[in-house]
């Protein structure tokens, strides 16, 4: 699979998760993935807005009643422990993308990152994809 994207997110991203084993239960690769991380390295970041927020909360089946488009309403993460950060050029973030996460709108400057997923497989290999 292709690995590595240069992505510009200025309009924000809904609360969602990225977990290949849940999205593709029959598998997507020739090896089973047991852990997944998302990597972002920013090449441009806004001075206000654009914060990434990650909640200490995984998807639960009942969350589907709060689905809106590709994500979920903020109500599902209400009261959950979280970490938020606004990133500047040169900052990098590696996080467990199975945790619910979102990105706030940044009305001013561009927010551009090099991004890919890292997966640990049952055979101990580290793979990456986008």
Ligand X SMILES: O=C(O)CCC(=O)C(=O)O
Closest approach, Cβ 123 to ligand X, in A, equals 25
- Tokens of residue 66, six digits: 């709060």
Contact indicator for 88, 37 with CB cutoff of 8 Å = no
Closest approach, Cβ 124 to ligand X, in A, equals 25
SS3 12: coil
Which of 120, 121, 119 has its CA nearest to residue 38?
Answer: 119
Nearer to ligand X, 115 or 120 (CB): 115
Nearer to ligand X, 10 or 30 (CB): 10
Closest approach, Cβ 30 to ligand X, in A, equals 24
Q: Classify the C-alpha dihedral 84-85-86-92 as positive or negative.
A: negative
Nearer to ligand X, 20 or 115 (CB): 115
Give the interface with ligand X as residue ranges (CB under 6 A). Answer: 9, 13, 18, 38, 40, 52, 97, 101, 103, 113, 115
């Amino acid at each position: 699979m292709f690995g590595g994207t240069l992505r510009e997110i200025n309009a924000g991203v809904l609360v969602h998760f990225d977990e290949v084993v849940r999205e593709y239960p029959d598998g997507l690769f020739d090896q089973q993935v047991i852990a997944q991380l998302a990597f972002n390295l920013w090449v441009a970041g806004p001075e206000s807005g654009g914060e990434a927020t990650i909640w200490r909360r995984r998807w639960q089946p009942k969350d589907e009643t709060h689905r809106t488009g590709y994500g979920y309403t903020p109500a599902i993460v209400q009261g959950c422990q979280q970490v938020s950060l606004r990133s500047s050029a040169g900052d990098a973030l590696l996080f467990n993308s199975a945790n619910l996460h979102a990105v706030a709108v940044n009305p001013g400057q561009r927010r551009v990152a090099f991004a890919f997923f890292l997966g640990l497989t049952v055979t101990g290999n580290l793979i990456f994809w986008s």
